[in-house]
Amino acid sequence: MKKLFSLFLLAGLAAPAFADEVKVAVAANFTAPMQKIAAEFEKDTGHKALVSTGATGAFYAQIKNGAPFEVFLSADDETPAKLEAEGAGVKGSRFTYAIGKLVLWSAKPGFVDAKGEVLKKGDYAKLSLANPKTAPYGAAGVEVLKKLGVFDAVQPKIVQGENISQAFQFVSTGNAELGFVALSQVWQDGALKSGSAWIVPQADYAPIRQDAILLANGAGKPAAEALLKYLQGDKAKAVIKSYGYEF
Protein backbone atom coordinates (compact mmCIF):
# COMPACT_ATOMS: atom_id res chain seq x y z
CA MET A 1 0.00 0.00 0.00
CA LYS A 2 2.85 2.34 0.93
CA LYS A 3 4.57 1.58 -2.39
CA LEU A 4 1.35 2.21 -4.30
CA PHE A 5 0.85 5.56 -2.54
CA SER A 6 4.41 6.55 -3.44
CA LEU A 7 3.77 5.76 -7.10
CA PHE A 8 0.63 7.91 -7.11
CA LEU A 9 2.55 10.72 -5.42
CA LEU A 10 5.32 10.55 -8.01
CA ALA A 11 2.79 10.53 -10.82
CA GLY A 12 1.10 13.60 -9.39
CA LEU A 13 4.40 15.43 -9.08
CA ALA A 14 5.44 14.45 -12.58
CA ALA A 15 2.18 15.50 -14.31
CA PRO A 16 2.88 19.26 -14.45
CA ALA A 17 6.24 18.55 -16.11
CA PHE A 18 4.36 17.58 -19.28
CA ALA A 19 2.39 20.85 -19.31
CA ASP A 20 3.85 23.75 -21.24
CA GLU A 21 3.05 27.24 -22.47
CA VAL A 22 2.38 28.37 -26.02
CA LYS A 23 2.69 31.97 -27.20
CA VAL A 24 -0.21 32.77 -29.51
CA ALA A 25 -0.75 35.81 -31.73
CA VAL A 26 -4.51 36.19 -32.23
CA ALA A 27 -6.39 38.49 -34.62
CA ALA A 28 -8.34 41.04 -32.57
CA ASN A 29 -11.74 39.94 -33.89
CA PHE A 30 -11.19 36.52 -32.32
CA THR A 31 -10.39 37.84 -28.81
CA ALA A 32 -13.58 36.74 -27.01
CA PRO A 33 -13.81 33.19 -28.41
CA MET A 34 -10.07 32.68 -27.91
CA GLN A 35 -10.32 33.61 -24.24
CA LYS A 36 -12.93 30.88 -23.76
CA ILE A 37 -11.01 28.36 -25.85
CA ALA A 38 -7.75 29.08 -23.98
CA ALA A 39 -9.44 28.43 -20.64
CA GLU A 40 -10.90 25.11 -21.85
CA PHE A 41 -7.61 24.17 -23.52
CA GLU A 42 -5.75 24.61 -20.23
CA LYS A 43 -8.38 22.60 -18.34
CA ASP A 44 -8.35 19.76 -20.85
CA THR A 45 -4.64 19.55 -21.66
CA GLY A 46 -2.75 21.30 -18.87
CA HIS A 47 -1.05 23.50 -21.46
CA LYS A 48 -1.39 27.28 -21.05
CA ALA A 49 -2.02 29.57 -24.04
CA LEU A 50 -0.39 32.99 -23.59
CA VAL A 51 -2.58 35.10 -25.86
CA SER A 52 -1.67 38.43 -27.50
CA THR A 53 -4.30 40.15 -29.65
CA GLY A 54 -3.91 42.74 -32.38
CA ALA A 55 -4.09 43.53 -36.08
CA THR A 56 -3.06 40.83 -38.54
CA GLY A 57 -0.74 43.12 -40.52
CA ALA A 58 0.99 44.28 -37.35
CA PHE A 59 1.51 40.69 -36.22
CA TYR A 60 3.02 39.80 -39.60
CA ALA A 61 5.62 42.56 -39.16
CA GLN A 62 6.36 41.45 -35.57
CA ILE A 63 6.78 37.80 -36.57
CA LYS A 64 9.12 38.77 -39.42
CA ASN A 65 11.11 40.85 -36.94
CA GLY A 66 11.64 37.91 -34.60
CA ALA A 67 8.69 38.10 -32.16
CA PRO A 68 8.64 34.80 -30.19
CA PHE A 69 5.13 33.70 -31.19
CA GLU A 70 4.64 29.98 -31.79
CA VAL A 71 1.11 29.94 -33.21
CA PHE A 72 -0.66 32.57 -35.29
CA LEU A 73 -4.44 32.89 -35.65
CA SER A 74 -4.85 35.36 -38.49
CA ALA A 75 -7.88 37.37 -39.64
CA ASP A 76 -7.21 36.30 -43.23
CA ASP A 77 -5.74 33.40 -45.19
CA GLU A 78 -3.20 35.42 -47.17
CA THR A 79 -0.88 36.35 -44.29
CA PRO A 80 -0.35 32.77 -43.00
CA ALA A 81 0.23 31.61 -46.60
CA LYS A 82 2.85 34.34 -46.98
CA LEU A 83 4.56 33.36 -43.72
CA GLU A 84 4.61 29.73 -44.85
CA ALA A 85 6.11 30.66 -48.23
CA GLU A 86 8.76 32.78 -46.51
CA GLY A 87 9.76 30.01 -44.10
CA ALA A 88 8.40 31.70 -40.97
CA GLY A 89 5.50 29.24 -40.83
CA VAL A 90 5.66 25.43 -40.79
CA LYS A 91 4.76 23.95 -44.16
CA GLY A 92 1.49 22.02 -44.19
CA SER A 93 0.31 23.25 -40.79
CA ARG A 94 -2.10 25.90 -42.14
CA PHE A 95 -5.89 25.48 -41.90
CA THR A 96 -9.02 27.65 -41.79
CA TYR A 97 -10.28 27.80 -38.21
CA ALA A 98 -13.17 30.22 -38.92
CA ILE A 99 -14.89 32.26 -41.60
CA GLY A 100 -15.66 35.70 -40.25
CA LYS A 101 -18.69 37.91 -40.86
CA LEU A 102 -18.79 41.68 -41.17
CA VAL A 103 -21.50 43.72 -39.46
CA LEU A 104 -22.43 47.40 -39.42
CA TRP A 105 -23.18 48.07 -35.75
CA SER A 106 -24.34 50.88 -33.50
CA ALA A 107 -24.53 50.86 -29.72
CA LYS A 108 -27.84 52.69 -30.11
CA PRO A 109 -30.94 50.49 -30.48
CA GLY A 110 -32.80 51.22 -33.73
CA PHE A 111 -30.02 53.35 -35.24
CA VAL A 112 -28.85 50.83 -37.85
CA ASP A 113 -31.65 49.40 -40.01
CA ALA A 114 -31.77 45.79 -41.20
CA LYS A 115 -30.62 46.70 -44.73
CA GLY A 116 -27.86 49.20 -43.94
CA GLU A 117 -29.73 52.10 -45.56
CA VAL A 118 -28.35 54.36 -42.82
CA LEU A 119 -25.07 54.46 -44.77
CA LYS A 120 -26.78 56.09 -47.76
CA LYS A 121 -28.83 58.51 -45.67
CA GLY A 122 -25.64 59.78 -44.02
CA ASP A 123 -27.40 60.88 -40.83
CA TYR A 124 -24.33 60.43 -38.64
CA ALA A 125 -21.10 62.28 -37.88
CA LYS A 126 -18.61 59.42 -37.47
CA LEU A 127 -18.22 55.95 -39.00
CA SER A 128 -15.69 53.66 -37.32
CA LEU A 129 -13.47 51.37 -39.37
CA ALA A 130 -10.35 49.32 -38.65
CA ASN A 131 -7.22 50.23 -40.60
CA PRO A 132 -7.81 48.58 -44.01
CA LYS A 133 -4.07 48.26 -44.61
CA THR A 134 -3.48 45.99 -41.61
CA ALA A 135 -6.93 44.66 -40.62
CA PRO A 136 -8.90 42.41 -43.02
CA TYR A 137 -12.23 43.49 -41.50
CA GLY A 138 -11.30 47.10 -42.24
CA ALA A 139 -10.53 46.18 -45.84
CA ALA A 140 -13.88 44.38 -46.05
CA GLY A 141 -15.63 47.50 -44.75
CA VAL A 142 -14.04 49.64 -47.47
CA GLU A 143 -15.08 47.04 -50.05
CA VAL A 144 -18.71 47.29 -48.89
CA LEU A 145 -18.71 51.10 -48.95
CA LYS A 146 -17.36 51.09 -52.50
CA LYS A 147 -19.86 48.47 -53.63
CA LEU A 148 -22.70 50.61 -52.23
CA GLY A 149 -21.25 53.65 -54.01
CA VAL A 150 -20.93 55.72 -50.83
CA PHE A 151 -17.21 55.54 -50.10
CA ASP A 152 -16.35 59.03 -51.37
CA ALA A 153 -19.29 60.57 -49.53
CA VAL A 154 -18.55 58.95 -46.16
CA GLN A 155 -14.73 59.08 -46.29
CA PRO A 156 -14.56 62.40 -44.34
CA LYS A 157 -16.63 60.78 -41.57
CA ILE A 158 -14.40 57.74 -41.10
CA VAL A 159 -12.54 57.36 -37.80
CA GLN A 160 -9.91 54.68 -38.14
CA GLY A 161 -8.96 52.22 -35.42
CA GLU A 162 -5.58 50.50 -35.31
CA ASN A 163 -7.41 47.17 -35.27
CA ILE A 164 -10.96 45.82 -35.06
CA SER A 165 -10.95 46.06 -31.24
CA GLN A 166 -10.32 49.80 -31.38
CA ALA A 167 -12.89 50.23 -34.16
CA PHE A 168 -15.42 48.50 -31.88
CA GLN A 169 -14.37 50.64 -28.92
CA PHE A 170 -15.05 53.86 -30.85
CA VAL A 171 -18.65 52.73 -31.40
CA SER A 172 -19.27 51.21 -27.96
CA THR A 173 -18.11 54.42 -26.23
CA GLY A 174 -20.17 56.69 -28.49
CA ASN A 175 -17.20 58.33 -30.21
CA ALA A 176 -18.71 57.08 -33.46
CA GLU A 177 -22.43 56.48 -33.99
CA LEU A 178 -21.80 53.34 -36.01
CA GLY A 179 -19.01 51.27 -37.48
CA PHE A 180 -17.97 48.13 -39.31
CA VAL A 181 -16.94 45.48 -36.79
CA ALA A 182 -16.69 41.70 -36.61
CA LEU A 183 -19.97 39.94 -35.90
CA SER A 184 -18.18 38.01 -33.15
CA GLN A 185 -17.80 41.24 -31.16
CA VAL A 186 -21.53 41.89 -30.91
CA TRP A 187 -23.07 38.43 -31.29
CA GLN A 188 -23.32 35.46 -28.95
CA ASP A 189 -25.42 32.30 -28.88
CA GLY A 190 -27.50 33.29 -31.89
CA ALA A 191 -28.43 36.83 -30.89
CA LEU A 192 -27.21 40.43 -30.96
CA LYS A 193 -25.89 41.36 -27.52
CA SER A 194 -26.84 45.04 -27.70
CA GLY A 195 -27.56 47.99 -29.99
CA SER A 196 -28.65 47.62 -33.61
CA ALA A 197 -26.96 46.02 -36.60
CA TRP A 198 -26.95 45.10 -40.25
CA ILE A 199 -25.22 41.79 -40.94
CA VAL A 200 -23.60 42.54 -44.29
CA PRO A 201 -24.51 39.97 -46.99
CA GLN A 202 -21.57 37.77 -47.95
CA ALA A 203 -22.02 38.81 -51.60
CA ASP A 204 -20.91 42.36 -50.71
CA TYR A 205 -17.34 41.45 -49.68
CA ALA A 206 -14.75 38.73 -50.22
CA PRO A 207 -15.03 35.84 -47.72
CA ILE A 208 -12.94 36.46 -44.60
CA ARG A 209 -11.22 33.10 -44.29
CA GLN A 210 -9.23 33.10 -41.06
CA ASP A 211 -6.30 30.71 -41.09
CA ALA A 212 -4.16 29.39 -38.26
CA ILE A 213 -0.55 28.33 -38.70
CA LEU A 214 2.22 26.78 -36.64
CA LEU A 215 5.11 29.23 -36.69
CA ALA A 216 8.75 28.24 -36.95
CA ASN A 217 9.25 28.97 -33.22
CA GLY A 218 6.55 26.42 -32.38
CA ALA A 219 7.85 23.56 -34.52
CA GLY A 220 8.17 20.39 -32.47
CA LYS A 221 6.71 22.00 -29.34
CA PRO A 222 3.91 19.89 -27.82
CA ALA A 223 1.83 22.81 -26.48
CA ALA A 224 1.82 24.62 -29.83
CA GLU A 225 0.88 21.48 -31.76
CA ALA A 226 -1.75 20.58 -29.15
CA LEU A 227 -3.42 23.99 -29.47
CA LEU A 228 -3.75 23.73 -33.25
CA LYS A 229 -5.27 20.26 -32.85
CA TYR A 230 -7.61 21.54 -30.13
CA LEU A 231 -8.89 24.34 -32.38
CA GLN A 232 -10.10 21.70 -34.82
CA GLY A 233 -11.98 19.74 -32.16
CA ASP A 234 -15.71 19.79 -31.42
CA LYS A 235 -15.42 21.77 -28.18
CA ALA A 236 -13.53 24.66 -29.78
CA LYS A 237 -15.79 24.61 -32.85
CA ALA A 238 -18.88 24.95 -30.65
CA VAL A 239 -17.38 28.09 -29.06
CA ILE A 240 -16.41 29.52 -32.45
CA LYS A 241 -19.89 28.92 -33.86
CA SER A 242 -21.56 30.57 -30.85
CA TYR A 243 -19.86 33.86 -31.82
CA GLY A 244 -21.36 33.84 -35.33
CA TYR A 245 -18.45 32.40 -37.29
CA GLU A 246 -18.81 29.73 -39.97
CA PHE A 247 -16.34 27.06 -41.06
CATH number at residue 234: 3.40.190.10
Domain that holds residue 194: 101-204
| Domain-located, residue 14 | no
Same domain, 69 and 137: no
Beta bridge partners of 158: 127
Q: What is the mean pLDDT of residues 151-156?
A: 97
- Rg (Cα) of the chain, in Å, rounded? 20
pLDDT tens digits along 193-234: 999 999 999 999 999 999 999 999 999 999 999 999 999 999
Q: Are residues 94 and 106 in the same domain?
A: no
**Are 84 and 116 in a shared domain?**
no
Asked whether residue 130 falls in the same domain as residue 60, the answer is no
Asked whether residue 39 is domain-assigned, the answer is: yes
Burial class (CB in 10 A: 0-12, 13-18, 19+), 99: middle
Residue 4 forms part of a structural domain = no
25-36: pLDDT as tens digits: 999 999 999 999
What gap in Å lies between CA 237 and CA 97, rounded to an integer?
8
**Does 36 reside within a domain?**
yes
Query: Is the model's pLDDT at 96 over the cut of 90?
Result: yes
Question: How far apart, in whole angstroms, are the C-alpha atoms of residue 60 and residue 128?
Answer: 23
pTM more than 0.85: yes
Q: Indicate if 146 and 230 belong to the same structural domain.
A: no
9 within domain boundaries: no
Task: Tell me what the mean pLDDT of segment 49-65 comes to.
Answer: 97
Pairing of strands 102-106, 196-199: antiparallel
Q: Are residues 95 and 181 in the same domain?
A: no
Which band of pLDDT confidence, cut at 50, 70 and 90, is reported for residue 5? very low
In a domain, 5, yes or no: no
